[in-house]
Structure 1
Amino acid sequence: MKKLFLSMMAIAALTMVSCGDDDGPSEPAATCSDGIQNQGETGVDCGGPNCQPCTVEPTCTDGIQNGDEEGVDCGGSCPNSCDTSGVVEVTTNITSDVTWTSNNIYELQGRIAVTNGATLTIEPGTIIKAFAGTGANASVLIVARGAQLNAVGTASSPIIFTSIADNIELGQTAGTNLNENDRGLWGGLIVLGNAPVSLDGDAESAQIEGIPVTDPNGLYGGSDPDDSSGNLQYISIRHGGALIGEGNEINGLTLGGVGSGTIIDNIEVVANVDDGIEFFGGNVDASNLFVWAQGDDAIDIDQAYSGTITNVVVVQGDISDHAFEIDGPEGSLQGAFFLTDATLFGLDANEADGEVADYRDNAQGTTRNVLVTGFTGIGDGLQLSDVELDNDGVANNYTNGLLVFENWEVVLPTGVTTSAEIFDDRSTIGSTFEADAATFSSAVDNNGAATVGADTSAFSWTYSNAKAGLGF
């Protein structure tokens, strides 16, 4: 009987140490690196009112730790003591493989790079919030050359990059306090690879815009066209484009020297100060791209990008510039893009800004199956809704067949009588482009009559579709 009494006393004492409900001094906040609290270990006390949830998923199948069972101590009266969801601060570079899970919100604090050949995996439904930062230290996520980002969301559980100011919570796909006019609240997502780029002076690599030259993780370009930077699918990037310096902002999604081994599919960019998505060289293919309310250009192509872009929707905002801005090779390396199946929505009330496209500086490639609607009419003697060939070099590329336009349909803006009127040759070699416009463009009375453009049903999952009521 005495032995039984002593055993019962020992069990009671153990319970008080491990998961007591007393009001005595609480244990210090824990690091809980393995999700397990062992006897005498500084860890997470999930008993009593002073709970400190782990930041890793524990093995806690029944909510109870029975001495030798692996898991979190879920004794005591702490409500939701097995819930390990919370906020994870990201303050240093990622140098080894890591997974971000959907039961946490990850907070980017400053310039964070995935380096050293590491892979960052992000689960469907994960929310990443970023602080604004200042200048060169604006919060941004960089996937450096040799590293990978495997961020594969789903239509019902997209991966969301947004501002710390966004009141979106775990399990949600949208907050309530920000809209398409809230821009520049953090940086953006930058993915860099080892694929070829055409650079001035035929350099093999360069520093990506928006990242200080002192940061080696900002280099992009190389000699491997098959390079892989990972897999990006069903990702929504919101409220970015922080100002780094005068005239230097970060794009929503920047792709520098990204190779064909990378998957880019179902990407949405909303309310970015600078461009929505910009391709600097490389040859990665990209499909199902949606840009809404960007401050500058929606889709920007530079430095002999030579991949295929398929199924694009652009919805201009009140300060947007071009839907497309296309530049060509800067060095001797040549390359031509292929962009097909796009619907470009202008903003009817916009009387000052918002052009369809600008082809500049040796632009080379094909733009095919494009529907243009909602752009403004003529003002100040210029066609504000125009498609431009900016200089003689680009006009020559058009004449020589290096720049190709096929199957454009245009819902005519006020004051324009034929679709050819929106095509504007700004060069000095003549009006060949304007004269030929009728051979690849036609007017339509409304969207219902259009036979080209994007498959907008692919974007029913987007924040933009829900927020703006686009009806996709």
Structure 2
Amino acid sequence: MKKIILSLAILASLTTTFTACTSSDDNSSAQPVTGEITGPIAADKVYPLGTYTLKGIVKINAGVTVTFDAGSTITCDKITGDNALVVLNGGKLIVNGTSALPVVFTEKSGIPGSWGGIIIYGDAPIKAIGGVTTSTSEDGNALPYGGTNAAHNGGSLNYVRVEYAGAKLADGTKENNGFTFYSCGSGTTLDHLVSYKGADDGYEFFGGTVSMTNAISYGNYDDAFDWQDGWQGQNNSNWYALQVTKGNYGMEIECSNNNNAFWPKVTNITLKRATGCTPEVAGDIQIDAIQFKKEANGDYSNIVIDGYGPYTEGATTYQGAAIKIQDVNTNTNQVNGSKIKLTNVKITNTALEILGANVGTPPTPISVIFPSGQYSTSTTATGASLTTGAWSTVGGVNLIQ
């Protein structure tokens, strides 16, 4: 009997050791693991260093925290159907990447527009079309967003790269982005992120108070950075965009036709457009570095703009601008009302400095004159200041050029 009991004890000990090496428990000696990630995720989960397959529209439920350890790669396959990682309001996504060991979310084919990227929902304040404080997402999930919780915390994303996103999910009204933030709050951390070769925007904010630091948008087909619904993040810095092959605006800024008394603040911005880069749709005129429309506003400083036109397509030459004001109301209420501030702006290889052009065919010219102190150029602006590493390198190519 004693021998049987001893044998069972040894077996239990061995089983416990094996489980620790491959489970979500903290174990520094654990070897990389493999596994499949499906949803919904209804209980806290830690994914240790490993290689995972994400299958389907995986939702992290309210009250649940999902954590990824540094160095992991998560791959989906568009052949299996729609794929995305969605954090529902009240859920949290914690990604503990490092400069040397980023966490990479990618898609098997390597084709832009192959999955839905990372989508996070919150209940921070928004101001959508008509001034409403709640709205419904356009990402195919058709979920409500908006609220009064300015400090909403959707988790902490550190050293995360999203590749080849931009798919249209289900019956969504538009493609998704590399990273999409629906009314996320200031308690959410977004730091050292890369959106790489997506078919829509690199990053899009739908209202909220969250801020983002040290972000790269590389080779995304639509806009590098985009927001609406009264986004008002205050601590944004070090944004870098390089548009290659296809690309629209460096920054598309709008406030959903609301003349707000608040606005976001971003410092240290670099927006570059490579030679030969064309709009997403041939013949389009979305080729400006920073576009303001629909009562867009904000405070932006230390900006480097390079390569925004002119470019020729067929027999037509298009003139890009560093700053574009696209409608009369934005010019009257935001420019003249001193709600747009652009200081220490360095402009090179760009056709026009400031363009006022109301939408239409052809566009109607708008006279844009910034009030004193609201706009200044410089030859010494430095733009984004980022430290390179594995997090900013894909296929041996440094994305910061």
Q: Please, what TM-score do these two structures have when normalized by structure 1? A: 0.72
Q: How much does 1:115 deviate? A: 0.6
Answer yes or no: is 1:263 the counterpart of 2:186: no
Give CA deviations for 1:346-387 in whole Å, capped at 9, x if unaligned. 111236664312111110211221101133326536413442
Q: Within 5 A, what are the aligned runs for 1:105-116?
A: 105-116=51-62
Alignment of 1:69-80 (within 5 A): none
Within 2, Cα distance between the matches of 1:287 and 1:438?
24
SS of 1:370's partner is strand
Aligned in 2, Cα 1:330/1:142: closer, same or farther, shift over 3 Å? farther
Query: Among 341, 355, 366, which residue is 2:299 paired with?
Result: 366
Call closer, same or farther: CA 1:438–1:466 in 2, change over 3 Å: farther
- State the alpha-carbon separation in 1 of the partners of residues 60 and 295 from structure 2: 34
1:426 counterpart residue number = 357
* 1:136-167 superposed Cα distances (whole Å, 9 cap, x missing partner): x61001111011111121111111111134xx
State the match for 1:64 in structure 2. Answer: none
Could you say if the C-alpha distance between residues 435 and 260 of structure 1 is closer, same or farther in structure 2, counting changes exceeding 3 Å? closer
DSSP 3-state at the match of 1:395: helix
Cα separation, 1, equivalents of 2:249 and 2:188: 27
- Report whether the alignment pairs 1:340 with 2:267: yes
Q: 1:369 to 1:269 in 2, by over 3 A?
A: same
Distance 1:163 1:398 in 2: 42
Q: Which has the higher contact order (CA 8 A, sep 6+)?
A: 2
2:117 is equivalent to residue 188 of structure 1 = yes
- Is the 1:57–1:84 Cα contact (8 Å) retained in structure 2? no
Matches of 1:59 and 1:53, distance apart in 2:
8
Quick one: structure 1 residues 331 and 86, their matched pair in 2 at CA, closer, same or farther if it must change by over 3 Å? same
Alpha-carbon offset, residue 336 of structure 1: 0.5
**Does the Cα contact within 8 Å between 2:335 and 2:371 map onto a contact in 1?**
no
Tell me, what secondary structure is at the counterpart of 1:288?
strand
2:264 matches 1:349: no
Corresponding position of 2:384: 454
What residue identity is the alignment partner of 1:322?
Y
Residues 83 and 116 in structure 2, CA contact (< 8 A), matched pair in contact too? yes
Shift of residue 286 of structure 1? 1.0
Flag structure 2 segments of 5+ consecutive residues without an equivalent. Answer: 281-286, 359-363
Residue 230 of structure 2 is matched in structure 1 by 304
Report the CA distance between 1:221 and its aligned residue: 1.4
Written as runs of structure 1 = structure 2, the 5 A alignment for 1:219-368 is: 219-244=144-169, 248-308=174-234, 309-330=236-257, 334-350=261-277, 354-368=287-301
The 3 A distance-change label for structure 1 pair 139 and 334 is farther
Q: Secondary structure at the match of 1:393?
A: helix
Matched residues, percent identical?
Answer: 22
Q: TM-score, normalization: structure 2?
A: 0.83
Q: Closer, same or farther in 2 for the Cα pair 1:349/1:289, shift >3 Å?
A: same
Contact 1:238 1:270 in 2 (8 A): yes
Q: Residue 94 in 1 paired to residue 94 in 2?
A: no
Q: Using a 3 Å threshold, how does the CA distance of structure 1 residues 93 and 133 change in structure 2: closer, same or farther? A: farther
1:398 to 326, 335, 345: 335
Distance of 2:25 and 2:366 partners within structure 1: 70
- In 1, the alpha carbon distance for the partners of 2:26 and 2:175 equals 44
The CA distance in 1 between the partners of 2:357 and 2:27, in whole Å, is: 68
Which SS does the other structure have where 1:322 is aligned? coil
In structure 2, what residue type is equivalent to 1:344?
L
SS of corresponding position for 1:440: strand
**SS of 1:376 mapped into structure 2:** coil
SS at match of 1:212: coil
Q: Residues 344 and 429 of structure 1: is their aligned pair in 2 closer, same or farther, counting only changes over 3 Å? A: closer
**Per-residue Cα deviation, 1:233-258 (whole angstroms, up to 9, x for no partner):** 11111111113358621110001111
Q: Which has the larger radius of gyration?
A: 1
- Contact 2:119/2:180 (CA < 8 Å) preserved in 1? yes
1:25-53 CA distances to partner (integer Å, 9 max, x unpaired)? xxxxxxxxx99649xxxxx9x9xxxxx99
Look up the equivalent residue of 1:321 and give its one-letter code.
N
For 1:317 and 1:401, the matched residues in 2 are separated by 33
2:284 aligned partner = none
CA contact (8 A) 2:345 2:381 kept: no
| Cα shift at 1:89 | 1.3
- AA matched with 1:406: T
One-letter identity of the residue aligned with 2:84? V
Query: How far did residue 400 of structure 1 move?
Result: 1.0
Aligned with 2:83 (options 121, 136, 139) = 139
> RMSD in angstroms over aligned alpha carbons?
3.5
Query: Are the equivalent residues in 2 in contact too, given 1:423–1:437 (CA < 8 A)?
Result: no
Q: 1:239 to 1:335 in 2, by over 3 A?
A: same
Per-residue deviation, 1:470: 5.2
**Aligned partners of 2:354 and 2:368 also within 8 Å:** no
